[in-house]
Amino acid sequence: MNSKIINGILLTSVLACGCQQSSNKQHTNETTDSVDKSFDTVIDSKDVKLYTLTNGKLKAALTNYGARLVNLQVPDKAGNLTDVILGYDSAAAYKANASNFYGAIVGRYGNRIGDATFTLQGVKYELEKNDGKNSLHGGTHGVYNQVWDVANSSDTSITFTYISPDGEAGYPGEVKMQVTYTLSHTGGLVMDYQATTDKETVLNLTNHAYFNLSGAGSATILDHELQIDAEAITEVDDTLIPTGKSIQVGGTPFDFRQAFVIGDRIETEDVQLKIGKGYDHNFELSKASGFRKVASVYAPKTGIEMQVLTTEPGLQFYSGNFMRDTDPKGKSGLAYPFRSAFCLETQHYPDAPNHPAFASTVLKPEQTYSTKSEYRFTIR
């Protein structure tokens, strides 16, 4: 957590100001196309809208419901813009299917917390159970299921803010958080996260975009080539909660230190693969600090390569193992079948509040949570 902590006094005032001003500021990049009217609605007595960003290389659409990414269009090898993000055509559909987390900022704690409990300063906190006996991505009242405010926006950037009240979903402290999405000149989507709290708490925010670099709605991601800079994964039990041990990736289906086709080893007889029904594990990144490239994915069909850069120590690779052919249809009525998307979630380790040996996710009132990640696109 130390890599996330900077002087918090100035940012606290910035966050408070952004939250206060958000309801009055005019946003020039609200979308006006007729298809976007399905996002012009009210959820939990708050206005929801769709916003667009463009920088001449990439186009993105986002909604303040869950501060989520709705689509991300990048050029393929033929020069055609390809939407690589799974999602829905309306805010109502996102709300009805909130538990799959498409494109959302998840938290307060991204990933799982075992037995939906943790202890902080001698106090045991009971969280919402939404993954068997565990808590996943902040519980049913996680920030992915909240309407955020828009503090400011431009053609290439937008900042969402949310104040999570003390006790929301069982977590202590009032947390003022913000995430800024920016389309960069490097051909990437940058996500800057910052937050402050008035009481000691834990925090682990990440984006839960589902990608298919062959295009959203394509049948599989098993042909994609993946590389991850990780020497080890975090071992999990049969409920996908860390045991506290690491497993070296050498000689296992989890060795992506060199690029490997995702589908080539996914059915290997391996205990960890069996538990996750495929890949659903935290990769312990080799370089533990600094903003750096940690992974890349390549789709031969479109020639699109996505690089992942982050300041985080972990990367959750999920291969869409719980997706089903019977799931609700996505954008443009397309089906999202089994393993038709992958997630690469930059994060601190799952269940870190219950594992003192893991990098800490504790946030104190005198500190500021600050982390940065980027999805950067190229053609090859």
Tokens of 231: 């020497």
Continuous segment of H or E residues that includes residue 14: helix 9-21
- Of 208, 224, 281, 355, the active-site residue reads 208
- Which helix (H) or strand (E) element contains residue 75? strand 68-75
Residue of 281, 345, 348, 355 marked catalytic? 345
The closest of 150, 72, 137 to 105, measured between CA atoms, is: 137
Given a contact cutoff of 8 angstroms between Cβ atoms, the answer to whether 181 and 62 are in contact is yes
Q: How many CB atoms lie within 10 A of CB 116?
A: 21
Q: Would residue 111 be called left, alpha or beta, if left means φ above 0 and alpha means ψ between -120 and 50 degrees? A: left
Give catalytic status of residue 374 as yes or no.
no
Helix H or strand E segment including 17: helix 9-21
Q: DSSP state, 109?
A: B
Three-state secondary structure string covering 300-336: CCCCEEEEEEECCCEEEEECCCCCCCCCCCCHHHCCC
Alpha carbon distance 118, 77 (integer Å): 48
Q: Which CA distances in Å does 178 have to 142, 152, 159, 245?
A: 15, 11, 7, 33
- d(CA 114, CA 118) in angstroms, rounded, equals 8
Q: Answer yes or no: 231 catalytic.
A: no
Query: What residues contact residue 369 under an 8 Å CB cut-off, 6+ apart?
Result: 4, 5, 177, 193, 194, 195, 196, 203, 205, 363
How many CB atoms are located within 10 Å of the residue 79 CB?
7
Q: Which residues of 23-36 are buried (b: 16+ CB within 10 A; e: fewer)?
A: eeeeeebebeeeeb
Cα separation, 137 vs 318, in Å, equals 14
Q: With residue 106 as reference, give the H or E element that holds it.
A: strand 105-106
Residues recognised as catalytic = 208, 345
